Structure formats: C-alpha cells, structure tokens
Amino acid sequence: MTGQAMVFKQMLTGVSEMLGIAHWMAITTQDPEYIYFFGPFLTETEANSYREGYISDLEAEGAKVIDVKIRQRRKPDVLTQDLATLTSKSKS
C-alpha cells in the first residue's frame, strides 16, 4: 500500500470510528476472565486478518481464548475489561 493510500485508509477508519461504524474485535478469555477489544478496523475482513495474531499473543501470555466476535460499534470505554469486576458490579 502506498503512503497516500495508507493515509486515506487511516482517514476512513477515523471517520468510521466517529460514526460508530468501525469494526472492533472482542476476544473473551478464561483464566484470566477478560474481554480484550482490538480495533478500530475499516472492515470485518481487515479485522479477521489480525484475528490469529491477537489470539496467538493472548495464548502466549497463558490466556485461554473462549470466544471471538467482530462487530461494528463505537470504541469501548475500556479496552481490557475484567469480567469478574463487571459481574460483581452487576450484582451490587
């Protein structure tokens, strides 16, 4: 990809992020029980091209991946969410 094409893609990704239509990957792990968000991506295909790399990185750190979802959404407030904390807050 040329420099100009890369800049244009970054601009499109930024606009899609502002509109809440960028793609984000949510990887849920067990031990630790977390949800990791990766993105933004312009397309689902682009997000999928990074999928195995993110999974490999998490597994190399000892996490067990139990679910991967890609969807269009706004940027999460927290990119690494502790499920134990979320569960205890919802019980309060």
- Residue 65: which domain range? 3-91
Domains contained in the chain, number: 1
pLDDT given for residue 90 in this prediction: 59
Tell me the whole-structure pTM to 2 decimals: 0.83
Which residue from 16, 12, 5 is spatially nearest to 74, judged by alpha carbons?
16
How confident is the model over 22-77, as pLDDT tens digits?
Answer: 999 999 999 899 999 999 999 999 999 999 999 999 999 999 999 999 999 999 99
Of residues 48 and 2, more confidently modeled: 48
Assign 83 a pLDDT band (cuts: 50, 70, 90): very high
